[in-house]
Structure 1
Amino acid sequence: MSDLSLQRATLTALVIETFNVGAFTILFGACLHLIFIKKASGANHILTPTLCLIWVLSIVHWIVDIVRARIAFVDDPAHDLLYLSSPAQPLDGAKIGIYSTITIVADFFMIYRCWMVWNHNVYALALPVLCWVATAVTGWVGTAEVVLTQKGGIFHANLQPWIISFFSLSLATNVLCTLLVAYKVLLSQIRLRRSGTESTGRVIPALIIFLESAALYSLSLIALLVTYQLGINTSFIILDLTSSVIGITFSSIILRLSMADSKPSQSTTTASLPGRGNVSGLGGIDPNSYPLGTVHISRLVRDDWSNPKARHLESGVLPR
C-alpha cells in the first residue's frame, strides 16, 4: 500500500488541524453566545466547563503541532525525519498526552449525559464507566511509554498494545453510551404511544442528531485504528483530525439541538398532570422547574412527566 512520507503526513495533518481548530473556535464562540448572552436554559454546570476545557486543550494541541513543525522544518530541516520519528521528544509526549486527555474528558461527559438519561442508574452505567477508567489508564500509561521509548516511533512494539487498547476502549465507551441513550429514548417513545399520548415530533430529529454525531466520532476512531494497525503514516493525519472532530461535534450538536428547540411546537395535545393541572403545548410548563442543561430539547418525552425517570430525558442529551 502506498503511503505518505512522515514529513508530508505531518504537514498535511497540521493544515487540516488548523482548519478544524478554526471551525471549532467559531462554533465554540457561538455556543458561549448561546449560553451566556441568550442564557439558553440556564447554563449547565457540567456542559459549559467541559466545552471550555475541550477548546483549551484543542488549542494547546494545535500549538504543540505548530512548534513541532517549526523545529522539524525550519530550525533543523536536515534532520526533520529523525526529529519527527522520535517519540522521546518532550513535545511528542505532550501531543499524545493532550490528545488522550481530550478523549477522556469527552468520554466523561458522554457517560454523564447517559447517567442523566438513565435517571442516575448506576447499574446501566457500570460497563461504560469501566471502559472509561480503562481508557484513562491506557491513555496516560501509553503517554508515559511514548516518552520513555527511545526508538521505533509510535509504531514500536512496546507502544502498540497501549495505543490500540486506548482507541478500542474509547470506541467501546462511545458505542455503549450511544446504544444506552438511544434505547432509553426509544423505549420512552414506545410507552407514550402505547398510552395514547402524542409527542411534539422533536424526539426522532433529536435522536438522529445524536446518532449522527456518535457515528462521526466512531468512524474516525475506526479509521484511526485501521491505519495505525497497518503501520502507515496516514494515521498521523487522522489522529490530528480526530482531536479536533471531538470539539466540532460537541459544539455543533449543542447548536443544532438549540435550533431544533427554538422551532415552535406543532402539537396541541392537552394532558393532565398530577399536581399541575392541564398542560397544552409548551405554555403550561415552567421551563425553570425542570432545568434542561444548556440546550432545550423541550419535552423530549412530552407528556410523561408523571414518571420521574422521563424527566431526565430532557437533561443533557447532547452527543459529542
Structure 2
Amino acid sequence: MSISEIASEMSSVRLALGCLLVETLLCGGFIALHAVIVWQFLSRSSPHARSKRDILLIGASAVMFVLAILHLVIDLDILVQSGLLRGVDVATLAKGITTWNGQTKLGFAKLTIYILQTFIGDSFMIYRAFIIWNNSCYIIAWPVILLTGEVASGFSSLAIGQLSPPARFHAFLQAYLVIAVVTNALATVLVMRPLWSSRGEVSEYRPDGFRLRTVRWRVAKSIVQSAAVFTISAICFTVNSFVSPLGLSASHYIFPPTVAIVFTIAVARICLSTVQESPRPSALEMNYNGPRIQSCPSLPITVDDIEDYSALPIAIHVSVSRTSDHGSMSSCGPHSSASSAKGKDEKYVVEENPGVV
C-alpha cells in the first residue's frame, strides 16, 4: 500500500471521527434545547388555549428531534460495525466506514432520515411563505409542485439504490438533491423577501463604526429567522455529491442535527410568541397576534394590519368621581350640621361597551 493511500485512509477515518464528535455535541445541545422549548410551551399555555397549528408544529419539531437522535445512533452503529471496538487497522476501518455508508441498510436508513428531514423543513418553509404572503395560493404553487417532485425522486432513489448498480443510484441521488436545492431556495427567497424589504423601509441612525457589525448581525438574524440553514445544507449536499465524497460524508454527519436545531428554534419563535403570560390583556390593548405576525414575529406591523384592526369596535369605560367636603363650612352658620350631613362622596360611573376588542 502506497503512502498516499495510507494518508487518504487516515484522513477519512479522522474526518469520520471528528464529524461524529461534532454531531454528538450538537445532539447533546439539541436534547437540552428541545426539552426547554417543550417545557415552556406546556407550562406557559393552558391545554384549551393551544391551537392545532401550534400542536402540529411542536409535533413536527419532536419528529425532527427523534430523526436527529436516530441519525446519531446509526452513525455510532456504523463505527461499531466497521470494527472500531475490535481494534482493526486503519485500512479496514476506513473501508468499513465507506462500505456501511453506501448501499447498505444503514446507509439507506441515513438517506431516509435526510429525505424526511428535508420534506419536513421544506413543508415548513412553504407554510411560512403562504402565511407571510397573505394566504396566497399562487405564491406557493411552484414550491408545492417542486416539493412533490422532491419527495417522489427521493424515495425513487431509495428504491433504485436497492436494485440498481451504484452508478445509477448515484445519478438518481444527484437528481433528487438538485430538486431539493431548487425547492428550498425558492421557499427561502419567498420567506426572506418580506424580512429584508421591511427592514429596508426603516431608516435608523447608526454610527459608522457599527455598520459592518450591523450588517453581519442582520445577515445572521435573517438566516436564523428564515431557516436558510436548510438551503445551505441542501447546497452542501448537492455540491459535494458531484465533487467530493468526503465532503458528502461530512455533510451527512453535521447537517441533520443542525437542520433539526434550526427548525426547532423557528418553531419555538412561532409557538411561544402566541403564549400570553398575563391572564387577560387590557381593554384598550390591540391584539396583533394574527397568523402573519405569528408565522414571523420579527415582521413589523404594517398599515394594512392596523386598518384591519381599526374596523373593530372599541370598549369604552368612563368613570366620573365627585367629592364634596363641607366640613370646613361647619363654623359659618347654623346650617353647618345639615351641610356636613350632606357632605358625602358621590361617584358616577358610566360604562359603554359596544364590543370587545
Change (3 A) 1:206 1:33: farther
Shift of 1:234: 2.8
Look up the match of 1:300.
Answer: 300
Matched, 1:211 2:248: no
Of 127, 137, 142, which residue of structure 1 is paired with 2:142?
127
Note if contact 2:131-2:295 (Cα within 8 Å) is conserved in structure 1: no
Shift of 1:173: 1.9
Note if contact 2:41-2:272 (Cα within 8 Å) is conserved in structure 1: no
Look up the match of 1:92.
Answer: 107
**Distance in structure 2 (CA, Å) of the matches to 1:42 and 1:282:** 22
Matched, 1:55 2:65: yes
Look up the match of 1:177.
Answer: 187
Note if contact 2:195-2:222 (Cα within 8 Å) is conserved in structure 1: no
Look up the match of 1:32.
Answer: 38
**Distance in structure 2 (CA, Å) of the matches to 1:81 and 1:306:** 62
Matches within 5 A, 1:171-250: 171-184=181-194, 209-212=221-224, 214-250=227-263
Which residue identity lines up with residue 132 of structure 2 in the other structure?
A: V
Cα RMSD between the aligned structures? 3.9
Note if contact 1:178-1:214 (Cα within 8 Å) is conserved in structure 2: yes
Look up the match of 1:272.
Answer: none
**Distance in structure 2 (CA, Å) of the matches to 1:34 and 1:294:** 17
Unaligned runs of 5+ in 2: 204-216, 276-281, 309-357
SS at match of 2:304: coil
Look up the match of 1:199.
Answer: none
Change (3 A) 1:173 1:61: same
Which of these two proteins has the greater Rg computed from alpha carbons?
2
**Distance in structure 1 (CA, Å) of the matches to 2:202 and 2:22:** 45
Shift of 1:81: 4.1
SS at match of 1:119: coil
Which residue identity lines up with residue 82 of structure 2 in the other structure?
A: A
Look up the match of 1:64.
Answer: 74
**Distance in structure 1 (CA, Å) of the matches to 2:183 and 2:94:** 35
Shift of 1:18: 0.9
Which structure is richer in relative contact order (CA contacts within 8 A, separation 6 or more)? 1
Look up the match of 2:332.
Answer: none
**Distance in structure 2 (CA, Å) of the matches to 1:296 and 1:38:** 20
Shift of 1:172: 1.7
Note if contact 2:293-2:299 (Cα within 8 Å) is conserved in structure 1: no
**Distance in structure 2 (CA, Å) of the matches to 1:80 and 1:3:** 12
Look up the match of 1:284.
Answer: 285
Note if contact 2:273-2:294 (Cα within 8 Å) is conserved in structure 1: no
Look up the match of 1:317.
Answer: none
Note if contact 1:167-1:225 (Cα within 8 Å) is conserved in structure 2: yes
Q: Deviations over 1:96-144 (max 9, x none)?
A: 1111111111111111121222233221111111221121122212222
Shift of 1:307: 6.2
**Distance in structure 2 (CA, Å) of the matches to 1:120 and 1:128:** 14
Q: Deviations over 1:231-277 (max 9, x none)?
A: 33132112221111111111234556789999xxxxxxxxxxxxxxx
Unaligned runs of 5+ in 1: 151-155, 194-204, 263-280, 309-320
Look up the match of 2:351.
Answer: none
Change (3 A) 1:25 1:188: same
**Distance in structure 2 (CA, Å) of the matches to 1:99 and 1:237:** 13
Tell me the TM-score normalised to structure 1 length: 0.70
Of 164, 183, 192, which residue of structure 1 is paired with 2:174?
164
Which residue identity lines up with residue 81 of structure 2 in the other structure?
A: I
Note if contact 1:9-1:234 (Cα within 8 Å) is conserved in structure 2: no
SS at match of 1:169: helix
**Distance in structure 1 (CA, Å) of the matches to 2:192 and 2:243:** 33
Which residue identity lines up with residue 71 of structure 2 in the other structure?
A: H
Note if contact 1:21-1:59 (Cα within 8 Å) is conserved in structure 2: yes
Which residue identity lines up with residue 305 of structure 1 in the other structure?
A: D
Tell me the TM-score normalised to structure 2 length: 0.64
Note if contact 1:135-1:165 (Cα within 8 Å) is conserved in structure 2: no
**Distance in structure 2 (CA, Å) of the matches to 1:126 and 1:81:** 45
